[in-house]
Structure 1
Amino acid sequence: MPPKVNAAECVACGSCADVCPQDAITIDDIAVIDASKCVDCGACVDECPPGAITE
């Protein structure tokens, strides 16, 4: 299961998308994770400055 984005905490900074090796994250008003591309590596969870992405 891909990580989850807490919309109330996400600031759409793009840090998660920058580190995603599968290009599974796009930034709209919040980060959006494409479950079909995500390999559950956790890079986005570790990189998220406000801690809005959790496993």
Structure 2
Amino acid sequence: MTNNDTYFFEGGSEGAKHVNMDDPYCANLRKHYLKQQRDMMFSLKGMLFISAPKDPF
């Protein structure tokens, strides 16, 4: 089941920020993430997942 709430953000006084998604994770975070998945014996092959909370923290 999905929620039909709609959100729009213009960035306030600083404007919206855009992030290059060619390499969205820092190299250090990626290294630790991949080590953890190997330690837990997960096999990731060309998969992408995104986790986005509904509300700000």
Q: TM-score range by the shorter chain?
A: under 0.3
More strand by share: 1
More helix by share: 2
Q: Tell me the TM-score normalized by structure 2.
A: 0.26
Larger Rg: 2
Q: Tell me the TM-score normalized by structure 1.
A: 0.26
